[in-house]
Structure 1
Amino acid sequence: MFDSNRLLSAALIIFGAICCLLYPLAVFWPSGWAWHEGSPAENNYYMMIVAIYATLGAFLIRAAKAPMANASLIWFTVVSSIVHAGVMTVQALANPMQHGHLVGDIPALLLVALVFGVLMRKAHRSR
C-alpha cells in the first residue's frame, strides 16, 4: 500500500503548484477561473486573490517536507477551501454568467479539501 505521508507530500506539491498557477489558469480558461470580464490583471480583486493563493501555494509546497509539522496549515486549507467553494457556489448559481465556475474553480477547491482531508486523516492514523 502507498505511504500516506508520501502521498500527502505529493498532493501538497501538486496543489501548491496549481495555486501558484492561478493567474495563467484565468488567462486560458476565464469562465472557470476568473470572476470578471477582461484580462485578470485589469481587476484589483482578482490580483489580490492571485497573490493570496500564490503565497498559500508556496507554503503548501514548503509543507511537503514535513506535512504533520504543518498540520494547521493543511487543515486551514481544507476548511477554507470548503467555505470558499460554498460562497462561490451560491454566487455562481445566482448569476448565469458565472455558471462556468461550477465546473472550474469550485470543484477544484472541493477536490483540494477532499484530498488533503483524507490524506491527513490517513497520515494521522499511521503515526
Structure 2
Amino acid sequence: MDDIARAKYLPIALIATGLIFIFAMYPLMVWIWPAGWGLTPSQPEYEQIILGTFGVLGVFLILAAKNPTAHIKLIWFTIWLNLVYATIMLLMVLADRTEQANLIGNIPVQYLIAGILWYLLPRHKKRSS
C-alpha cells in the first residue's frame, strides 16, 4: 500500500479505534464479556484506570484523525500502549489461567489495533541523489 492509500485509511482507523476505546471497552469489560476483557476476579479500581486511560486516548485519536501526520507521536504512543497492554495481559495469562479468556478477547484486539495503526503510518523513503 502506498502513502496515498495509507493517508486515506489512517483517519478511518483512528476514528474507529477512538470509538472502540470510548464506547466498546466498558460494555465488553463490564457486561458483555468480562472474562475476555476484564480481570478475574474483577478489580474495579484497575479496570476504571484502564477504561479512563483508553477513553481519553480515544478522544484524542478522533481529534487526530483530522490531521494524522501532525499527530504521528500520538499514533506511535497508541501503538506502543496497545503492544505493552496486550503483552502484560499475555504474561498474566501465562501466570494465571483464570485470565485465559483474554487470549481470545482483548489481547488479540490490542495487538490488531497496534498492527493496523503501524501498517497505516506513512512510510518516508529516503531518495537517493
Pick the TM interval, shorter chain. 0.7 to 0.9
Q: Quick one: which amino acid aligns to residue 28 of structure 2?
A: L
Name 1:16's counterpart in structure 2: 18
Stretch deviating more after TM superposition (52-61 or 76-85): 76-85
What whole-Å deviation, never above 9, does each CA across 1:61-82 have from its counterpart, x for those lacking one?
1110000100000001111211
SS in 1 for 2:66: coil
Counterpart Cα distance in 2 of 1:43 and 1:83? 21
Q: Provide TM-score, normalisation by structure 2.
A: 0.86
Counterpart Cα distance in 1 of 2:84 and 2:47? 18
Name 2:7's counterpart in structure 1: 5
Counterpart Cα distance in 2 of 1:90 and 1:82? 12
Q: Quick one: which amino acid aligns to residue 35 of structure 2?
A: S
Structure number having the greater helix percentage: 1
SS in 1 for 2:123: helix
What whole-Å deviation, never above 9, does each CA across 1:90-113 have from its counterpart, x for those lacking one?
101211111000111110110011
Matched, 1:36 2:53: no
Percentage of identical aligned residues? 36
Does the Cα contact within 8 Å between 1:32 and 1:103 map onto a contact in 2?
yes
**How many residues end up aligned between the 2 structures?**
121
Gaps of 5+ in 2: none
Gaps of 5+ in 1: none
Task: Using the TM superposition, give the Cα deviation of residue 37 of structure 1 relative to its aligned residue in structure 2, in angstroms.
Answer: 3.6
Counterpart Cα distance in 1 of 2:68 and 2:102? 30
Higher Rg of the two aligned structures:
2
Does the Cα contact within 8 Å between 1:8 and 1:119 map onto a contact in 2?
yes
Stretch deviating more after TM superposition (108-117 or 75-84): 75-84
- Could you list the runs of 4 or more consecutive aligned residues of structure 1 that deviate by over 4 angstroms after TM superposition? none
Does the Cα contact within 8 Å between 1:36 and 1:43 map onto a contact in 2?
no
Q: Provide TM-score, normalisation by structure 1.
A: 0.88
